[in-house]
Amino acid sequence: MANLTITVEDAVLQRARIKALEQGTSVNALLRLYLESFADSRAERDALEHFIELAQRSEAGSSRTKRSWTRDELHER
């Protein structure tokens, strides 16, 4: 795991420490979670775009003109 050094105003860091303590965590843990989320956001967006592209190319559908099954068929037991 790498170490990261940042520069922040003393007052901001003090307020962040107090809020983190109130939430039962640390500024370090909050920054780590934020960076993980930030780094993964592009991958999530890419996956969603890929899913939408696949769905649009699919011949499956539920519009009245493309429906190939009835409601009763879907709920047969």
Give the chain's domain count: 1
Of the pLDDT bands very low, low, confident and very high (cuts 50, 70, 90), residue 37 is: confident
Q: Write the CB contacts of 6 (distance below 8 Å, at least 6 apart in sequence).
A: 31
pTM of the model: 0.54
Q: What is the residue range of 49's domain?
A: 31-57
Tokens for 73? 């068929």
- Which is higher by pLDDT, 57 or 6? 6
Q: Is residue 26 one of the residues assigned to a domain?
A: no
Question: Could you write out the DSSP letters of every residue in 53-73?
Answer: HHHHH-S---STTT--S-HHH
Given this model, what pLDDT does residue 31 score?
Answer: 94
The percent of residues in the chain predicted with pLDDT above 70, rounded, is 86
Q: How far apart are CA 75 and CA 25, in angstroms?
A: 49
Largest CA distance in the chain: 66
In a domain, 45, yes or no: yes
